[in-house]
Amino acid sequence: MSTIRRRAAGTALVVALGAASLAACGGSDDSADGGSGGKGSGSKTVTLVSHDSFAASKAVLKDFTQQTGYTVKVLRGGDAGAAVNQAVLSKGNPQGDVFFGVDNTLLSRALDNGLFAPYEAKDLDKVPAALQLDAAEHRVTPIDFGDVCVNYDRAWFAEHKLPVPQTFDDLVKPEYKDLLVTENAATSSPGLAFLLATTAKYGDGGWQDYWTKLRANGVQVVDGWEQAYYDNFSGAGGGKGDKPLVVSYASSPPAEVLALKKQPEQGPTGVATATCFRQIEFAGLLDGAKNTEGGKALIDFLLSRTFQEDMPLNMFVNPVRDDAKLPEVFTKYAPVISGSATVEPKKIAANREQWVKTWSSLVLK
């Protein structure tokens, strides 16, 4: 997830959980530079451009090198929106060979700008058709998915003897006044996803009225996920917040459990599953890449079971392969989300700027 975000999914809860800051792409380098070369001939380095939330076990990356002879160099910086912006600016002369982390909220912008060269990855038959949003042209390959949802602090609601809100409509009821914190849709991937979820729920003519009611009911808006989760949410491990409701991820509960010394029967946080928006993250071979063969090999590896089964505890996202196994902490503590909201990438591209502008005028005034 990006933005799903990451993206996403960020790195604050045991490596990764959400990202929200905007920064130029081109950050840390995870590997030794193994040389350079044109179109893959003679080049032993393949460069992956991504957001801050990208994480993989060293053993898994070493396995890729042993299989292919290529060393992976990772360039990180900012969230998915910033990374896509930088990729557009460097179009035709990309910073790397493969881009990972563009999600369905930003996909049309990347495709419309011609950032990727077509490549049909191996094992796509293991990926459900619903996740293959560019199946006709194969400019991008789905790698992971996650759900942005309202999370709640179980202990707070038990102490206050208040039923946990389950739906969007519940959040505007008087009994939940001043209890929710969300992220800015203009600066945060989960904030944008939550806005999109409400457009899917209430339609073009109804989401504005919903946000007017939510603002009147005391919703707090902060710049990014880390601030919302750690500074404002009462259920964050080690946090000092006073809001028992936060826009976060369906994978937040297992991340919270992993931070505990002993696994409980039930996680300290829960998910209102009727408030979710699905984020799908993709990888693509950058047009103009210097190492196209290495890039193709890396995309195949990102879709391999080895990498797919490594992702959940590194980036707190779900693998797209239907034969990839989830770790027990996911199967026990992360809810199974069915019916998560989605919006067509083309509709997002056509309306995102105006939606965010209207949302800002309604909520931030």
**Per-chain mean pLDDT for the chain:** 87
The pLDDT, as a whole number, for residue 77 is 67
Comparing CA positions, the residue from 193, 184, 250 lying closest to residue 219 is 184
Tens-place pLDDT, residues 237-278: 877 899 999 999 999 999 999 889 888 989 999 999 999 999
**DSSP state string for 78-147:** S-HHHHHHHHHHTTTS-SSSEEEEEETTTHHHHHHTT-EE----TTGGGS-GGG-TTTTT-SSEEEEEEE
Structural domains present in the chain: 5-146+279-333 (3.40.190.10), 148-277+336-363 (3.40.190.10)
Q: What are the tokens at 277?
A: 């928006």
Average pLDDT for 156-182: 98
Q: What is the per-residue pLDDT for 158?
A: 97
pLDDT above 90: residue 15: no
User: SS3 of 247, please?
Assistant: strand
pLDDT (0 to 100) of residue 86: 86
What per-residue confidence (pLDDT) applies to 18? 37
- Name the β-bridge partners of 243: 233
Higher pLDDT, 361 or 3: 361
User: pLDDT value at position 339?
Assistant: 86
234 pLDDT tier (thresholds 50, 70, 90): very high
User: CA nearest 47: which of 66, 59, 32, 62?
Assistant: 32
- By the 8 A CB rule, do 352 and 105 touch? yes
- The answer to whether residues 258 and 14 touch, using CB atoms and an 8 Å cutoff, is yes
Q: Which amino acid is it at 13?
A: L
Contact 2, 102 (CB under 8 A): yes
